[in-house]
Amino acid sequence: MKHFLDIHTTDAADLRQMIDMGQKMKSARNGRPKGTPDDEQPLKGHMVALIFEKPSTRTRVSFDVGVRQMGGETMVLSGREMQLGHGETIADTARVLSRYVDLIMIRTFEEATLQEMAEHATVPVINGLTNRTHPCQIMADIMTYEEHRGPIADKKVVWCGDGNNVFASFAHAAGQFGFDLTFTGPETLDPERAWIDWAAAKGRPITIDRDPHRAVAGADLVVTDTWVSMHDPESAKERRHNQLRAYQVNEDLMSKAKPESLFMHCLPAHRNDEATSAVMDGPHSVIFDEAENRLHAQKAIMRWCLGK
Ligand code: CP
Ligand code: NVA
């Protein structure tokens, strides 16, 4: 069963093949209206369940559109409205859904929910974000970097802010695609030890530098994300803002990176908190290309899962 659960648990050659396939499918659509189907219909006759236990704009729309472009059909399910949200086990949900659909994408809280779904489903399962990782996002980000600047291998990527789930998948990508990753943020919001150790074991030790200006010096890519994630308690907001203010990505900080550096943010953003509008709308920013590439990268991920 080819589940797409995380970047570090997927074969590096397969990841590369997915990025290249995403780019190929994107080029093939060049100039065509958004709603038109692809010439190739690899998902024709396939039904895909998209389960959301947390809010989403990009993941929801890009998966839905991607399936339809490839000739398949979707059903978007909210966790709350399913029996899953009312006591039915994840394992039973996985077994039942597998009788109806060909592929399951789930956005959830605990990683254990995703793992249990994958363990008991007899169809492929895709991770659409957990509290711990967000692999589809980083596949789109790698694709975006490479379409603007060529291979990401050996480039310097600097993450500013919270060592969260999106950072975790960047750490995995550093090991799998072979780039240098620096984390700059307060010690209290450091990434998980497990991911730091994993990247080091892969020969791509993560640099941790508390000084954002020193960290960003010479960067090829500067990345940030919201200071408060969907799974973080609202009560943490004020403390996090105080701790993270020094790590805001603004024009002054971006000026320390290479002149040809790119700026990324997975969105949704809180403008003028983690990044200023001047940076988000400025010459280094590729944030809307990232959002678009969710569509193309995920189409390739789904084809890989289904062997299509
Ligand atoms: N970046 C991302 O996953 O966005 P959504 O929460 O809108 O899906
Ligand atoms: N770190 C954010 C990413 C949202 C796409 C969150 O988990 O809320």
Residue 150 has pLDDT above 90, yes or no: yes
The three-point CA angle 83-85-90 to 5° equals 75
Say yes or no: CB of residue 58 within 6 Å of ligand 1: yes
Expressed in angstroms and rounded, the spacing between residue 133 Cα and the centre of ligand 1 is 12
Q: Which atom of ligand 1 is nearest to the CA of 107?
A: 8
Which ligand does the CA of 139 lie closest to? 1
Alpha-carbon gap, residue 216 to 276, rounded angstroms: 16
> Nearest residue CA, atom 4 of ligand 1?
58
Task: State residue 294's pLDDT score.
Answer: 98
pLDDT over threshold 90, residue 303: yes
What's the pLDDT at 35? 85
- Does 302 have pLDDT greater than 90? yes
Q: State the residue for tokens 């509290």.
A: 131
Mean pLDDT in residue range 102-130: 98
Report the first-to-last Cα separation within the chain, whole angstroms.
13
pLDDT in tens, 267-289: 999 999 999 999 999 999 999 99
Q: Using CB atoms within 10 A of its CB, is residue 183 exposed (0-12), middle (13-18) or buried (19+)?
A: buried
Its pTM stands at 0.98
Q: Decide if pLDDT at 299 tops 90.
A: yes
Amino acid, res. 199: A
CB-based contacts of 278: which residues, under 8 Å, 6+ apart? 250, 251
The pLDDT, as a whole number, for residue 10 is 98
Q: Which residues are catalytic?
A: 107, 134, 137, 225, 266, 294
The whole-angstrom separation of Cα 138 and Cα 17 is 15
Indicate if the pLDDT at residue 11 is higher than 90: yes
How do residues 81-107 score in pLDDT, each as one tens digit?
Answer: 899 888 999 999 999 999 999 999 999
Cβ–ligand 2 distance for 226 under 6 Å, the answer yes
Average of per-residue pLDDT across 174-184: 98
How far is Cα 232 from Cα 225, in angstroms, rounded to an integer?
13
User: Using CA positions, which residue lies closest to atom 6 of ligand 1?
Assistant: 56
Ligand 2 pocket member 169 (CB < 6 A): no
Tell me which of 57, 166, 294 to substitute to probe ligand 1's pocket, judged by most ligand atoms within 8 Å of the beta carbon.
57
**C-alpha span between 210 and 187 (Å, rounded):** 8
% of residues, the chain, pLDDT over 90: 96
Q: What are the φ and ψ backbone dihedral angles of 71, each rounded to 5 degrees?
A: 90, 0
Residues in contact with 27: Cβ distance below 8 Å, sequence separation at least 6, in sequence order: none
Minimum CA distance residue for ligand 1 atom 2 = 58
pLDDT at 84: 87
Q: Which of 280, 260, 160, 171 is nearest to 214 (CA)?
A: 160
Would the CB of 138 count as within 6 Å of ligand 2? no
The tokens for 192 are 């998980």
Closest residue to atom 1 of ligand 1, CA basis: 266
* Closest ligand 1 atom, residue 134 Cα: 3
Is ligand 2 within 6 A of the CB of residue 267? no
